[in-house]
Structure 1
Amino acid sequence: MTDQPIVSTQWLADHLSSPDLVVIDGSWYLPQMGRDAAKEYLDGHIPGAIRFDIDDVSDPSSGLPHTLPQPHVFSSKMRKLGIGDGQTIVVYDGMGYFSAPRVWWMFRVMGVSDVYVLDGGMKKWAAEGRPLEDGGTPLRPERHFTARLDYSALADIDDVKRFTSDGSVQILDARPAERFTGQAPEPREGMRSGHMPGAFNLPFMKLMNEDGTLKDAASMRELFIEAGLDLDKPVATTCGSGVTAAVLTLGLTISGARGLKLYDGSWSEWGGREDTEVVTGN
């Protein structure tokens, strides 16, 4: 296997019949995108791929969108999907890099090391004329899945409040610049516009090439540095609801950064409360 957290479409095509390979369609879209991830999966997916719904594999008691569930819940959900210990997991989504890195991160934070994102996703796979199949998720026998939550990879609101005051961890926001500066409204109602004090901004789309693949490590390192980061210091990523923050986490991982955290509540939590400081402008 590669030592990087991504694999190419050619690699996946060459290994698609491997018995211990699990392919996951982790597509998810914002309502304003006008796309239906479940229908797109039924209409055509990579052969053998399992549909993974981040809204279903979540903690409904949090009151926030698709936050990470407790380890025993995640383990139960994966067992029922036929995903177990010792398997190699490849995740893709319909856009290339949008929600698939979130699913990758969920597995990583639950202790799975052999999990990868398909570079370019379904967009590249289909453009190359590679095989697709339609219909529902294939039935797979249940397998034992061991979840070991890495709490150090998570940041909660108290952590982020501390980071904004003491600067011990850099905050990197994946949202578009207009939302970060407060010039554009948030897509979710009730959210204030702006960003966390001291946060840096790097819209996640900037990490991608025109064909939907990820830029190389050197190019991404330059982007992170240009955004203001010191890659030798810890970073907490954030976005609107914890999805595209994982694109930055993936890019930072490839770029060699360490001490990474993801703020799962993200702006849905921070921007929706009155006890948090919100800054506008650059």
Structure 2
Amino acid sequence: MKIHNPLVSVDWLNDNLDNKNLIVLDCTIPKVTDKSSIYNDKKQIKGAVFFDIKNTFSDKKAQFPNTILSSEEFQEKAQELGVNNDSIIVCYDDLGIYSSPRVWWNFKLMGFTNVSVLNGGLPEWIKNNLPIETPKKNQYKKGNFKVNYQSQKITFTKDVLRAIKDDKISILDARSKGRFYGTEPEPRNDVKSGHIPNSLSLPFGDIQEKGKMKSKDELEKIFSKHKDKKQIIFSCGSGITASILAFGAELSGLKNYAVYDGSWTEWGSSNNLPIEL
């Protein structure tokens, strides 16, 4: 079975929950600005597999948080979760749509296309009284997934530095307007305030409504001013909510986008890069 829409409903997922090729990934992480715990009395969608963004699917040796794994490491870790080339993957998280698009983008970057995000995540699932369970520790049969790395889906600091002088490239920042303009402090103490020169503010909440993505028509309107650009680069604090913007762009029909993996944590930690307020 092929997924033709990168956004699936809870009804669609429930109807297909018994498909032998389906893998439901719990992609939950806490917000960097939220100091409370979301793991008390943890529940998950029935049969879900935990995709550990922080501890398994990020480079722990990297200087900055959430740095993407090498393609070889990603392939190995995904295989350990039982991912096959013919798998159907649905990503969700406990906060509606927050960290699940990061995992969707991870798989797109690695050349896996049969992947989607659950609209509304676990809150929508529970609201509809669909089956949940307490997480279990499972061993999975090793999968045969092979990476087909798509380098156009990711950008690095050197690419963004060149892009700020190119009016055919848009740089959109998913952080709050307060963080973008430096009127709110950064949640990481060693990161400066401000934004990348010539970037534009598009807080990720502006493309969502009550934990779900806005409609295709609304997303097309939001991204319409960037549709003729040769590239759109998405940034945020550390690559998580930039992936929400990338997901919104995909839903609007755009394909020429990339996520700045280091995002503001990398840019704002440097003493050699230009910053605007």
Q: Deviations over 1:46-81 (max 9, x none)?
A: 011000111121112321101110011001111111
Q: Structure 1 residue 4: deviation in Å? A: 2.1
Mapping 1:2-151, distance limit 5 Å: 2-36=3-37, 39=39, 43-56=42-55, 57-151=57-151
Q: Structure 1 residue 168: deviation in Å? A: 3.7
Identity of matched residues, % = 34
Q: Residue 213 of structure 2 corresponds to which residue in structure 1?
A: 214
Matched, 1:157 2:153: no
* Richer in helix (by share): 1
Question: Residue type matched to 1:145 in 2?
Answer: F
Q: Residue 241 of structure 1 corresponds to which residue in structure 2?
A: 238
| Aligned-partner SS, 1:33 | coil
CA contact (8 A) 1:50 1:137 kept: no
In 2: Cα distance, 1:154 partner to 1:46 partner: 30
Uncovered stretches (5+) of structure 2, i.e. residues with no partner: none
Q: Deviations over 1:65-123 (max 9, x none)?
A: 01110011001111111112110000000111110000000011001000000000001
Deviates more, 1:52-61 or 1:193-202: 52-61
CA contact (8 A) 1:48 1:138 kept: no
Mapping 1:139-218, distance limit 5 Å: 139-210=139-210, 212-218=211-217
CA contact (8 A) 2:233 2:259 kept: yes
CA contact (8 A) 1:172 1:202 kept: yes
Uncovered stretches (5+) of structure 1, i.e. residues with no partner: none
Q: Structure 1 residue 13: deviation in Å? A: 0.3
In 1: Cα distance, 2:201 partner to 2:97 partner: 18
Q: Residue 222 of structure 2 corresponds to which residue in structure 1?
A: 223
In 2: Cα distance, 1:83 partner to 1:276 partner: 39
| Aligned-partner SS, 1:60 | coil
| Aligned-partner SS, 2:74 | helix
In 2: Cα distance, 1:262 partner to 1:137 partner: 32
CA contact (8 A) 1:92 1:117 kept: yes
Alignment length, in residue pairs? 274
Q: Structure 1 residue 190: deviation in Å? A: 1.0
In 2: Cα distance, 1:172 partner to 1:35 partner: 28
Q: Structure 1 residue 25: deviation in Å? A: 0.2
Deviates more, 1:239-248 or 1:140-149: 140-149
CA contact (8 A) 2:3 2:115 kept: no
Question: Residue type matched to 1:149 in 2?
Answer: Y
In 1: Cα distance, 2:195 partner to 2:91 partner: 30
In 1: Cα distance, 2:62 partner to 2:169 partner: 24
Question: Residue type matched to 2:13 in 1?
Answer: L
Question: Residue type matched to 1:223 in 2?
Answer: I
Q: RMSD between aligned alpha carbons? A: 1.4
Q: Structure 1 residue 221: deviation in Å? A: 2.1
In 2: Cα distance, 1:171 partner to 1:31 partner: 22
Deviates more, 1:173-182 or 1:129-138: 129-138
